[in-house]
Structure 1
Amino acid sequence: MIIDGMGDRPLKELGYKTPLEAAKTPNMDKMAKMGINGIMDPIKPGIRAGSDTSHISILGYDPYQVYTGRGPFEAAGVGVDVMPGDIAFRCNFSTADANGTITDRRAGRIRNGTEEIAKTINSMDIDENVEIIFKESTGHRAVLVLRGNGLSDNVSDADPKHEGKPPKEVLPLDNTEEAKKTADVLNRFIEESYNMLKDHPVNLKRIEKGKNPANIIIPRGAGAVPHVQPFGEKYGLKAACIAETGLIKGIGKIAGMDLVDIDGATGGVDTNIENIKKGIMETASKDYEFMLINIDGADEAGHDGEMDDKVKFIEKVDDVVGEMMQIDDLYFILTADHSTPISVMDHTGDPVPIVIKGPEVRVDDVEEFNERAATKGGLCRIRGRNLMDILMDLMNKSTKFGA
């Protein structure tokens, strides 16, 4: 179970505790007492891991070999059948003013109406030799796939990263005609998206209600579809993936895991925790040998700088942890994919806490689950890529190295 962005830094407002330290987490603390604890660098010390690269690493793949960009995973996760040669992008529904300045990168955390907007975008015709495939994901997220000959994923992002700036001009990152063509298509796509969406019925209704319109599409994370050894083939385990966002679902899908959809899972602090809990327990009762679970709200709160929301969300997740601890005879690993400190409002390279509970683990003396208490645990400090090896060894499914 990966609580996305749960790691943090001490905050003065919390008496120099982290949100995880300040939250009331009796079940996580109980798990710490029953398990072996440590801290984990998702990639390696000091590296600011993305949710995609960290999950790839935690699943035992080398992100420096497998990762081609965020787009292909996001596209696969929302149900687009990506093909060799496709160039995929992760996108934001965003808000721009009449001067083209981005005033809200997430369009007011839009939740409804994105399907209608996506239908409009799919009618766009920029280049007769390039097919545009656009699909909404959860919330403000979406995916764009460009399909056609002579395209390249070696192009820059359009995301300005901060409000108050226009979309960045997409640039070719090499001198090939393919990269130049792709950059040109993307720049025209962004401009045309605003023209098509500024007076869209969904946006006019949002404006009437005082909400930010989703009137421009900002692509980022270009990538070609990677070749990945299926998880089941790599480890001999039948696996399921329960995740809220298209990105993590896509990682599970490309790795060959069965996807479990959860109704009401938004990827935000407003997600339906009860449905997630129910979905986890139902999946655990089936014949899967491995489950990858990602719960995302703490990361959203971190990115938004909402300290109280992060504390409260961690407390909600603690209830899910308590439910899972009722299941006997399994190895339960609880950790995060990266830190998203409230003070930074972005990912950092700070290590995250981790605990493993299960048969015959060497229980240590740690009594609380948080960033600092975990440093005293028996796992010490590991990297994400070590985790599956540790798990396979605990399950007595690893092979001996040497005589």
Structure 2
Amino acid sequence: MKGMILVMDGLGGRPLKELNNQTTLQAAKTPNMDKMAERGITGIMDSIAPGIIPGSDTAHLSLLGYDPYEVYTGRGPFEASGVGVDVIPGDIAFRCNFSTSDEDGIITDRRAGRIREGTKDIVDVLNTMVIEGYEDIEIIFKESTGHRAVLVLRGEGLSGEVSDADPKVEGNKPKEVKGLDGSPEADKTADILNKLVVKSYEMVKDHPVNLKRIEEGLPPANIIIPRGAGEVPEVEPINEKYEVNSACIAETGLIMGIGRFAGMDIIEMEDVTGGVDTNLYNIRDTIVDQVNNSEHDFFLVNIDGADEAGHDGNAKDKLEFIEKVDEIVMSELLKLEDIYIFLTADHSTPISVKNHSGDPVPIIINGPEVRVDDVKEYNEYAVAKGGMCRIRGADVMNILTDLMGYAHKFGA
């Protein structure tokens, strides 16, 4: 038997007055997810633990059976690996945003209008950067999907114990990066980053891509904001840990990077953005083709758009995206045979919060011989009455591999 963890990133939410005190998932028309609930066993899940607000990175690590408190060193290395940078021990990696700054250094758009094109050309210029006084430090930029990018610092005397430059909200200057542990390595890294942020604006504010965006009334991607520093971690290969042949199907560099660190085969797709405008048909066709025609027997799948809409506080976009996933993707997954599908989210991204929250997320397991419960809808409230009750993300691989017939007995 095959198995799949299908993560709808940021799917969970909180009730909204404009939706008659329903969550976006409750209010959405999802006949195929409801059919999955009717055929399967349901419940709710804390990705890490009750009340803990998970990042997408720590949540996915937990879902794959890793203890994020042991293996998580920061988001940057996963992002960098996911977009194809060969990070090595000693590297310090960061996730970055292409952002928009005005002449006074104020960030006016943290995501540069969710730029979709031209970032590679901007990165080509940034990769010529040399910081005065730190000529021995190699600076590596790589574009990811949309407004996302990665940065890797390579050289002697660096540390991942530094704060973020991200101001979190528009209307502020980038935060001053500071060393967090008082070490000379951390202070050195912080100084490099502060100079790098300033220099990135100087280097690309007049880039042709940005001048064209300004002419078109779009926010230019004229500054880089690094965050999520981390040193390269060591991760036990998931194929050895659970005796599976695994593959990762994801849109964003972060999730592909987690898959790559876990030793999974990365199945790349075209025309996917990680946003509500992504090509769900390509995602669907890739999933179906891999399940039916590949030798892989375990899949990690991530569909990201609901999370983007949640961060934007856009209930309409989130609701409509959930409905599109149901219509385009779930309708076909219902037809798959000889596979256990664990449908869930990595975390909740409530519209009212515009960020992740510690609210538990809904879960379903579909597949042969599951103990079907009485739940007939897939939303945060209905599944709370389901037969799986309340579990943690760390339980998922044990449950799934037991159903798949891959688990081993504990004891005589």
1:347 is aligned to 356
Task: Kindly state the Cα deviation for residue 396 of structure 1 after the two structures are TM-superposed.
Answer: 2.2
Question: Which secondary structure state, in structure 1, belongs to the residue aligned with residue 310 of structure 2?
Answer: helix
CA distance in 2, matches of 1:45, 1:9: 16
Question: Which secondary structure state, in structure 2, belongs to the residue aligned with residue 250 of structure 1?
Answer: helix
Query: Quick one: which amino acid aligns to residue 173 of structure 1?
Result: L
- State whether structure 2 residue 230 is matched by structure 1 residue 223: yes
Question: Which secondary structure state, in structure 2, belongs to the residue aligned with residue 143 of structure 1?
Answer: strand
- State whether structure 2 residue 62 is matched by structure 1 residue 57: yes
- State whether structure 2 residue 308 is matched by structure 1 residue 303: no
1:392 is aligned to 401
Q: Give the TM-score, by structure 2 length.
A: 0.97
1:110 is aligned to 115
- Among residues 165, 169, 172, which one is paired with 2:172 in the alignment? 165
Task: Kindly state the Cα deviation for residue 128 of structure 1 after the two structures are TM-superposed.
Answer: 1.3
CA distance in 2, matches of 1:283, 1:241: 10
1:11 is aligned to 16
Question: Which secondary structure state, in structure 1, belongs to the residue aligned with residue 58 of structure 2?
Answer: helix
Task: Kindly state the Cα deviation for residue 329 of structure 1 after the two structures are TM-superposed.
Answer: 1.0
1:182 is aligned to 189
Matches within 5 A, 1:29-44: 29-44=34-49
Q: Percent identity?
A: 67
Question: Which secondary structure state, in structure 2, belongs to the residue aligned with residue 79 of structure 1?
Answer: coil
Task: Kindly state the Cα deviation for residue 282 of structure 1 after the two structures are TM-superposed.
Answer: 1.2
CA distance in 2, matches of 1:241, 1:392: 17
- Among residues 92, 108, 129, which one is paired with 2:97 in the alignment? 92
Q: Give the TM-score, by structure 1 length.
A: 0.99
CA distance in 2, matches of 1:312, 1:262: 22
- State whether structure 2 residue 358 is matched by structure 1 residue 325: no
Task: Kindly state the Cα deviation for residue 402 of structure 1 after the two structures are TM-superposed.
Answer: 2.2
CA distance in 2, matches of 1:399, 1:233: 13
Unaligned 5+ segments in structure 1 are none
CA distance in 2, matches of 1:281, 1:330: 11
1:138 is aligned to 145
CA distance in 1, matches of 2:168, 2:272: 25
2:75 is aligned to 70
CA distance in 1, matches of 2:388, 2:194: 48
CA distance in 1, matches of 2:340, 2:288: 15
CA distance in 2, matches of 1:148, 1:164: 34
Question: Which secondary structure state, in structure 1, belongs to the residue aligned with residue 339 of structure 2?
Answer: coil
Runs of 4+ that moved beyond 6 A: none
Query: Quick one: which amino acid aligns to residue 303 of structure 1?
Result: H
Q: How many correspondences in the alignment?
A: 403
CA distance in 2, matches of 1:185, 1:389: 43
CA distance in 2, matches of 1:311, 1:31: 19
1:150 is aligned to 157
Question: Which secondary structure state, in structure 2, belongs to the residue aligned with residue 331 of structure 1?
Answer: strand
1:234 is aligned to 241
CA distance in 2, matches of 1:275, 1:175: 48
CA distance in 2, matches of 1:267, 1:256: 22
Deviations, residues 52-83 of structure 1 (Å, cap 9, x unaligned)? 00000000000000100000000000000000
Which 10-residue stretch deviates more, 99-108 or 315-324? 315-324
Task: Kindly state the Cα deviation for residue 244 of structure 1 after the two structures are TM-superposed.
Answer: 0.6
Question: Which secondary structure state, in structure 2, belongs to the residue aligned with residue 125 of structure 1?
Answer: coil
Query: Quick one: which amino acid aligns to residue 162 of structure 2?
Result: V
Deviations, residues 68-109 of structure 1 (Å, cap 9, x unaligned)? 000000000000000000000000000011110100000000
